[in-house]
Amino acid sequence: MNRENRMKRWLGVLSAALFAGGALAQTYPDRPVRIINTFPAGGSGDAVIRVVFEKVSAALGQPFVQETRTGAGGSIGTEVVAKAAPDGYTLVLGTASTFGTNSATMAKLPYDAVRDFTPVVMIATTPYLLLVNPSVPARTAREFADYAKANPGKLNYGSFGNGSSNQLAYELFKQVAGIEVVHVPYKGGAPLITALLGGEIQSSMDVYATANAHIRSGKFRLLGVASAKRFSLLPDTPTLAEQGYPVEGGTFFAILGPAKMPRNAVDTLNREVNRALQMPDVRQRLTALGTEIAGGTPEELGQVVAREVQKWSQVVKDRNLKFE
């Protein structure tokens, strides 16, 4: 075979390979995609996945199958994704715990929230609300801080559990407000709500979805929102930052995959989720869950995760918090 024929043959092989690669890129996904949900079945994570991915599935022609993997603050399911093949067929619904506070509170976390994942898209966010039992003589965060200073160590606040995201958010509030309020950990959201309703604790931070009915009935008093800007579902309630306490905390729902996912898979998923988030019925259903629609680029999500990990690690260090 002369040099000219060898060159033609090599170019032919190269063209075929490029064509096959391009076809593969255009056909993602060509089989079902698994989404690991670290929330219990029937919870808010389950609802978010269903609302968004029924639209994404219809657009891409493949099912997105939800698989529940709970335990260890969500780290068990998240580790599954960290160690999965980076082909775009195993994803995780990430939260502010699994991609933020866990990195600060769990000494033996089996994954690195930044290094071991590919950010895809932020779906929605919801901030924490600073709440008190109505027996507390305070109607603003400033009045509560003044009352706490006048009664050091006599007030309690509750959390979802030791090392939970609302514990860290409340510790940040204590730090910036210069107050001491005793932490009482509970085993999840339901007993925390019961404790605040009954006056077993004087304060807590919780999300709109579980707190709003009690706020409206007057059983909880809302003092402020832990967000950078006013929460769209409570537009008349000032942020803690507006009241002099720059505290941001809450949770989010985001999609991530293993590190080194193919860019075409990332771009396809990001595009279709962003499209779904613009659909009126999706927006209505996510709002009904007490969230604000987010969207955005993979890079923006990556920045959020990096900031969350750094911020909460600093809070744990500054407050000298210890976790078993």
116 and 66 both lie in a single domain: yes
What confidence score (pLDDT) does residue 39 get? 87
63's CB contacts (< 8 A; 6+ apart) are: 32, 33, 57
79 and 141 both lie in a single domain: no
Q: Is residue 292 part of a domain?
A: yes
Q: Is residue 108 part of a domain?
A: yes
What confidence score (pLDDT) does residue 18 get? 40
Q: Is residue 38 part of a domain?
A: yes
Question: According to DSSP H, which parts of the chain are helical?
Answer: 3-27, 44-60, 75-82, 102-105, 141-150, 165-177, 189-198, 208-217, 263-277, 280-288, 298-319
Domain end point (choices 226, 260, 295):
226
Q: Is residue 73 part of a domain?
A: yes
pLDDT per position in the chain (324 positions), as tens? Answer: 454 554 445 444 444 434 434 444 458 999 999 999 998 888 899 999 999 999 999 999 999 999 999 998 899 999 999 999 999 999 999 999 999 999 999 989 999 999 999 999 999 999 999 999 999 999 999 999 999 999 998 999 999 999 999 999 999 999 999 999 999 999 989 999 999 999 999 999 999 999 999 999 999 999 999 999 999 999 999 999 999 999 999 999 999 999 999 999 999 999 999 999 999 999 999 999 999 999 999 999 999 999 999 999 999 999 999 986
141 and 198 both lie in a single domain: yes
121 and 263 both lie in a single domain: yes
Closest listed residue to residue 82, CA positions, set 316, 261, 304, 303: 261
104 and 163 both lie in a single domain: no
Distance of CA 284 to the CA centre of its chain: 19
197 and 48 both lie in a single domain: no
Neighbouring CB atoms inside 10 A of 288's CB total 11
73 and 209 both lie in a single domain: no
Domain end point (choices 226, 241, 273):
226
CA-based end-to-end distance of the chain: 71
CATH number at residue 206: 3.40.190.10
What confidence score (pLDDT) does residue 43 get? 86
**∠ CA 116-121-125, rounded to 5°:** 105
Q: How many domains does the chain have?
A: 2
Q: Is residue 243 part of a domain?
A: no
CATH number at residue 67: 3.40.190.150
268 and 292 both lie in a single domain: yes
Domain end point (choices 211, 226, 241):
226
Question: pTM for the full model?
Answer: 0.89
200 and 260 both lie in a single domain: no
What confidence score (pLDDT) does residue 40 get? 86
Q: d(Cα 287, Cα 190) in Å, to the nearest integer?
A: 21
Q: Is residue 15 part of a domain?
A: no
Domain, as residue range, for 93: 32-126+250-319
97 and 145 both lie in a single domain: no
46 and 114 both lie in a single domain: yes
Q: Is residue 307 part of a domain?
A: yes
Q: Is residue 240 part of a domain?
A: no
Query: Directed axis angle between helix 44-60 and helix 263-277, to 10°?
Result: 110
